[in-house]
Structure 1
Amino acid sequence: MALAAALLILLLASPAVYAADHTVGDSNGWSQSVDYTTWAKSQTFTVGDNLVFNYGSTHSVDVVSQSDYTNCNPSSPIKSYTGGSTTISLTTAGPMYFICPTPGHCQGGMKLAITVGASSPSPGGTPPATSSPPSGSSSPPPPTSTTTSSPPPPPSSSGATGDFGNLNVLMLVLALVLVGLHACMG
């Protein structure tokens, strides 16, 4: 019975595997040497994911409004982070904007606009579409639509892979089989 209980706990905890950590700028981190428009296009952001910013002491991270993002205005951040390593949980679907408030850095391209999609759909469903600004554009991304005619984006390079919906079904079936076996033997 203990094994069945352990599997049931594992089954209930498994939805947490949907979350992905997106290391902003990959190995280059939050720096002036990354094209964040291109980087964002290679990612799929979903409610429950995290953005991980790694940066040096001359940088920080400000969450800003669309207008402040467009104008590189650091004077009224929604939230500011310092310290070299910041993890920001993506808790709401929609656009989010980030800049480095160090003078000249945002103007030099140290700014990130993303669109966070709704939480993962049921197994076998189609993920919501996400978008980011066109390459070379400093304009923010348009609002996300839940329908699209283009194929879904490739898997994120953040390490979140696989079809976890099928894993959940498999774990449920395994747990039920073990509970049934235990009941027959006991």
Structure 2
Amino acid sequence: MKLMVTGPFGIGKTTFIRSLSEIPTLHTDETMTLAGAPLDNLTGMPPGKATTTVGVDFGRLTLPEDIVLYLFGTPGQERFLPLWSDIARGALGALVLADTRRLEASFEAMNLIEEAGLPYAVAINRFPSSPPARTDHLRAALDLHPATPLVLCDARERRGCLDVLIALTAHVLDRLPREPEP
């Protein structure tokens, strides 16, 4: 099952995939330079962030019942948007990572996913400096459909990331067409 991990710049997509992957991850991180500063909105970036994804992140995770998840992370900057549709091709669902400090930054990713017709879940990545928020308030602020899973996690902690993927996978499987019973 191919799943996208998407969201705004600096939200923790690479970290999320690294926390879960059972294989060494493929990542296309490059050092951020002053040349990119005028193009990228650095508001809300974690302190010390020095690299950014410029292509794709990839990891793999095998769940019980031999469900294999292939995780493809998108770059978060608008200038890499042309890659998004290529990464989305063949995906069965998507995970949008969000941050309570800048929820509005996740709207673009959610709009792209909805336009592509992909089922998705939203995971609020809890950064140490993020203000706490109730899930009902987050759901309202993000204008989520009642069936869209919303999960809190820390992208650095495997257990919470697994909970997110379980919620997303269950949501995707629920939306797949069923074969008629004989």
TM-score, scaled relative to structure 2: 0.27
TM-score, scaled relative to structure 1: 0.27
> Structure 1 or 2: larger helix share?
2
> Structure 1 or 2: larger strand share?
2
Structure ID, larger Rg: 1
